[in-house]
């Protein structure tokens, strides 16, 4: 199936990425924010319930659900339900219902050490449990947004995360925290597939390759075991995404979910000349993208990850979507490449 023409115009600066297939025409979307989700299992203090944004196509039924976990970054609002418009707009306009929470680590809350949750300021466990609570609240979500009631297929749930959000997603897909004395498993089998963009890697059980900054704010990175991550996953890797502030291992650190991931269906999308924001996945025209701003690179991430999700979530002719997109990408070598195992 080739890309379908839509009357809704695409960005003129997509350039070569415009040749990658979308498989469905773009449709208008509608959004509700915030919808408040309670956390009866004690994931959060009552003062800070989960606030979510839901964005959905205006048409269609049996729509798959795509959870989105934000990263951190230097911007004041993007690490929240207000961020990641390029991803949200693309996926909602192509048939997904996107649900994005504001995690306790968000700069919009700036909680830091104010809460005594027994973990560093990034609230890594709370972030993961946010999605357990969201998936437990399916009926509340549909009741709170009547325009989507009865239109969601909760048996087809995927997740996409960027940076710290990719760490969150990897644990929902089966990765574990393992230290000599502790094993923490937060896998949620209701999630069928996940996309990990700019994911943190592994630094060995003793954190030998972690920088002092990483040991201070994210010591848990050293204890991630990807071998137990058996749910299908697409790792999105930027070949100029140098994480010198977190690890001494260089760009290869970000490949770890693919290289070390267990089970079948592990794929790797390498985006050429991409830094950590991949051209601007966290927002259009934002300062944290810097010189990496590229509508074309965002287009590569959106379209290739979209094709992969179509295959994994069984959307229409999705079983061939990834293969077709990969074949097209081969003719656009300046954009990126794919590997599988």
Record the tokens describing residue 64, joined without a space: 């798959």
Helix (H) or strand (E) holding 339: strand 336-340
Distance, CA of 148 to CA of 159 (rounded, Å): 19
The answer to whether position 2 is within a domain reads no
Residue-wise pLDDT for 245-292, tens only, equals 999 999 999 999 999 999 989 999 999 999 999 999 999 998 888 888
Task: Identify the three-state secondary structure at position 135.
Answer: helix
Residue-wise pLDDT for 40-86, tens only, equals 888 888 889 999 999 999 999 999 999 999 999 778 889 999 999 99
The answer to whether position 3 is within a domain reads no
Which pLDDT does position 313 carry in this prediction? 97
Task: Identify the three-state secondary structure at position 204.
Answer: coil
- Structural domain including 109 reads 12-340
**Chain-centre distance for alpha carbon 146:** 26
Total of domains in the chain: 1
The answer to whether position 98 is within a domain reads yes
* Segment of 109-113, 144-148, 313-317 carrying the highest mean pLDDT: 144-148
pTM of the model: 0.95
Look at residue 5 and tell me whether its pLDDT is greater than 60. no
* CATH code assigned at 245: 3.40.50.1820
The answer to whether position 5 is within a domain reads no
The answer to whether position 190 is within a domain reads yes
The answer to whether position 6 is within a domain reads no
Strand partners, 235: 196, 268
The answer to whether position 297 is within a domain reads yes
**Chain-centre distance for alpha carbon 227:** 19
Which pLDDT does position 1 carry in this prediction? 40
The answer to whether position 189 is within a domain reads yes
Distance, CA of 292 to CA of 280 (rounded, Å): 7
Do residues 256 and 226 make contact, with C-beta atoms less than 8 angstroms apart?
Answer: yes
């Amino acid at each position: 199936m080739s890309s379908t023409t839509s009357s809704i115009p695409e960005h003129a600066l997509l350039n070569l990425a415009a040749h990658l297939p979308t498989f469905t025409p773009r449709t208008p979307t509608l959004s509700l924010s915030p919808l408040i989700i309670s956390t009866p299992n004690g994931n959060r203090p009552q003062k800070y319930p989960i606030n979510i944004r839901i964005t959905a196509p205006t048409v269609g039924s049996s729509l798959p659900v795509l959870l989105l976990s934000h990263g951190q970054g230097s911007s004041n609002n993007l690490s929240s339900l207000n961020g990641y418009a390029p991803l949200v707009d693309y996926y909602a306009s192509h048939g997904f219902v996107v649900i994005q929470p504001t995690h306790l680590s968000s700069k919009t809350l700036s909680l830091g050490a104010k809460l005594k949750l027994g973990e560093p300021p990034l609230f890594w466990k709370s972030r993961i449990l946010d999605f357990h609570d969201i998936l437990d609240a399916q009926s509340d979500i549909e009741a709170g947004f009547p325009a989507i009631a009865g239109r969601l297929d909760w048996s087809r749930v995927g997740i996409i995360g960027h940076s710290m959000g990719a760490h969150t997603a990897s644990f929902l897909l089966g990765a574990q925290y393992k230290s000599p004395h502790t094993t923490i498993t937060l896998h949620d089998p209701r999630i069928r597939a996940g996309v990990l963009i700019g994911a943190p890697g592994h630094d060995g059980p003793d954190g030998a390759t972690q920088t002092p900054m990483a040991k201070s704010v994210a010591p848990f990175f050293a204890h991630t075991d990807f071998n137990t991550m058996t749910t299908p996953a697409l790792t999105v890797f930027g070949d100029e995404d140098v994480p010198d502030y977190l690890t001494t291992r260089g760009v290869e650190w970000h490949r770890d979910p693919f290289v070390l991931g267990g089970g079948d269906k592990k794929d790797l999308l390498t985006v050429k000349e991409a830094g950590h924001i991949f051209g601007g996945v966290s927002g259009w025209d934002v300062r944290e993208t810097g010189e990496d701003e590229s509508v074309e690179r965002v287009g590569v991430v959106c379209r290739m990850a979209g094709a992969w999700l179509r295959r994994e979530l069984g959307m229409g002719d999705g079983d061939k979507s990834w293969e077709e997109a990969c074949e097209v990408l081969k003719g656009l070598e300046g954009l990126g490449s794919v590997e599988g195992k």
